[in-house]
Amino acid sequence: MYGTQSKRDLALEFQSQIPILRPSIHSRRANLTVKFQDLYGFTVEGNVDDVNVLNEVREKVREQGRVWWALEASKGANWYLQPEVSNGIVLKSSLKISALANAITLKKLIRKGIPPVLRPKVWFSLSGAAKKKSTVPESYYNDLSKAVEGKVTPATRQIDHDLPRTFPGHSWLDTPEGHAALRRVLVGYSFRDSDVGYCQGLNYVAALLLLVMKTEEDAFWMLAVLLENVLVNDCYTTNLSGCHVEQRVFKDLLTKKCPRIAAHLEALEFDVSLVATEWFLCLFSKSLPSETTLRVWDILFYEGAKVLFHVALAIFKMKEDELLLTHHVGDVINILQRTTHHLFDPDDLLTVAFDKIGSMTTTTLSKQRKKQEPAVMAELDQRLRRLNSLKVEDK
């Protein structure tokens, strides 16, 4: 897919994908709301300041692209796919100095963003999707799609219901062709993992994967590695137990990392899961602008799910002063929604996420999850008992 194009051709394709947004002279003068399409075909509404920010972001993307191409020229094509580098965490005893240097360089590069034209290849390799795909016959996805065609399950019915509601108005996703491709990916995975089946939220994740990866099969494997290896277990199962655990962990982290905000929200009786549940289930794809979301995903597929906590905390931290002045739950929600929808510069968000929130290790998060799991399971069991008792009374 990639080997047939020269670096020069890829670079030219990369440059052509990033147009400069030029608001009209009337918009510049009047600060009116303008509409335009971003790199991934989403219609964006914003003022002229937003357009200027997006132009600056596109220039940063160009600069980052030049850095990646320069490294390919000096270190060799696909240097970041070497096993010593792409494993993310490896034993130091097995690392040569050059490989360790490459791993450090790669982490810094990924945090600054993967160029759009390289994103499919880099994601597919570094996430483990390529390795996962290699363990099954080459025809796996096509065979699966044919085998499940025409079958009706609760999952397929819910998928069909959600297709037209997935990024409505998008130039490709909201078309018969886009709906069909998204349906095949989601239905295929619902049969691959019957414990997950289908959960609302996955439609947005799979849709964005399709836009980035270009092919259904690659999007399918990215979805598989995401649910089976990158995220915690049971985030998308029927009772969403994994998601409930993540929400409890996040509340504890908010108290620890942003104590003033946490105390104020508790006084307002504001439950952070009102906003954070969608963030975690949709991996910010419904909340943040597309390029900002994908910058978060760049890190997610290399460093793991801890980035979701970094980003969620950063959103609260960025608006700390404003949030502390709120008196109503609705005001909190409005501030957070307005903030996320206009975070056009990924660096603004990620700088806070990693420089101001502080470090967070995967091991620490795992311990926090284990601590919260018993309370979550007890709560879900109690809820199930209550529902069953109501059913008996209805009879």
Res. 241: pLDDT tops 50: yes
Model pLDDT, residue 203: 98
CB atoms within 10 A of CB 334: 12
Question: What percent of the chain shows pLDDT beyond 90?
Answer: 69
Judged against a pLDDT cut of 60, whether residue 84 lies above it is answered with no
Q: Check if the beta carbon of residue 98 is closer than 8 Å to that of residue 80.
A: no
C-alpha separations of 184 from 42, 219, 326, 384 in Å: 22, 11, 45, 32
**Three-state helix/strand/coil letters over the chain:** CCCCCCHHHHHHHHHHCCCCCCCCHHHHHHCCCEEEECCCCCEEEECHHHHHHHHHHHHHHHHHHHHHHHHHHHHCCCHHHCHHHHCCCCCHHHCCHHHHHHHHHHHHHHHHCCCCCCHHHHHHHHCCHHHHHHCCCCCHHHHHHHHHCCCCCHHHHHHHHHHHHCCCCCCCCCCHHHHHHHHHHHHHHHHHCCCCCCCCCHHHHHHHHHHHHCCHHHHHHHHHHHHHHHCCCCCCCCCCHHHHHHHHHHHHHHHHHCHHHHHHHHHCCCCCHHHHHHHHHCCCCCCCCHHHHHHHHHHHHHHCCHHHHHHHHHHHHHCHHHHCCCCCHHHHHHHHHHHHHCCCCHHHHHHHHHHHCCCCCHHHHHHHHHHHHHHHHHHHHHHHHHHHHHHHHHC
* pTM higher than 0.85: yes
Give the per-residue pLDDT at 93. 44
At the topology level, CATH places domain 241-389 in Cyclin A; domain 1 (1.10.472)
- pLDDT, average across residues 208-215: 96
216 is written with which tokens? 């259904």
Q: What are phi and psi of 36, to 5 degrees?
A: -160, 165
pLDDT at 39: 83
The ranges assigned to domains in the chain are 241-389
CA 392 remoteness from chain centre: 41
Confidence of residue 159 (pLDDT cuts 50, 70, 90): very high
Which pLDDT tens digit goes with each residue over 178-193? Answer: 999 999 999 999 999 9
Query: What is the chain's mean pLDDT, rounded?
Result: 88
Question: What would the pLDDT profile of 252-275 be if each residue is shown by its tens digit?
Answer: 999 999 999 999 999 999 999 999
In the numeric block, the tokens 């502080």 are attached to: 358
